[in-house]
Structure 1
Amino acid sequence: MPEQQTLPPQRSARRTHQVTALFSHGRLVTVPRKQARLEQLLTHLAETLFERDRSYTEREVNEALLTVHEDCSALRRHLVVAGLLVRPRDGSSYRRGR
């Protein structure tokens, strides 16, 4: 049986705390500039806002992202560039990526 890699509890808790520190009353206060912190945020958003194996319209993606921040288009672009949301060339739908 292959070993499943998991973070030690203290590292996982620290990452969760770092992401939750970016929120106030359920709203994203700031989008981090540091790449590692941005990646943590984007992973959190992808995992909490979007289901695996489900297609979303651009409107649905925007509505989900608007629940946490007013600049949904910037967040959507970040998610696509990071490969956390994937879309066909025509932009007709979005799916959760990696």
Structure 2
Amino acid sequence: MTNPLEDIKGFFNEKGQLKSWPAKRSRKLVAVEFLAGKFEEGRTYSEKEVNAILDEWHTFNDSALLRRELFENKWLDRTLDGREYWKK
């Protein structure tokens, strides 16, 4: 079985950070799953903490896009006001 990250290896820099966001939906899903792996289950994060983690793992300066993708793809859930996040 192939490693799904192989399909998006061109989107990473030498430090293992996403350097751009894939256009293809299938590749986006792999990237979102990669980012979701950076969060612990059973822990609640503030929006600021989520942004800090995401900023460690991407270089294109769009943590809002990544937060939204994690939420919309059901990797993270959040309070209605968006102040707290947790891994599903």
Give the TM-score, by structure 2 length. Answer: 0.86
> How much does 1:55 deviate?
0.5
Matches within 5 A, 1:17-96: 17-25=6-14, 26-47=16-37, 49-69=38-58, 70-96=61-87
Partners of 2:28 and 2:46 in 1: how far apart? 24
Give the TM-score, by structure 1 length. Answer: 0.78
Where relative contact order (Cα < 8 A, 6+ residues apart) is larger, the structure is 2
Q: CA RMSD in A?
A: 1.3
Aligned length, in residue pairs: 85
* Identical pairs, percent: 33
Give secondary structure in 1 for the equivalent of 2:8.
helix
Please list every run of at least 4 consecutive aligned residues from structure 1 whose deviation after the TM superposition is greater than 6 angstroms: none
Structure with the greater alpha carbon radius of gyration = 1
Amino acid of the structure 2 residue aligned with 1:78 = E
| Contiguous gaps of at least 5 residues in structure 2 | none
| Contiguous gaps of at least 5 residues in structure 1 | 1-9
Partners of 2:78 and 2:72 in 1: how far apart? 11
Deviations 1:7-53 (A, max 9, x none): xxx23x2x131233320122212111111110111011101x10011
- Is the Cα contact below 8 Å between 1:19 and 1:44 reproduced in 2? no
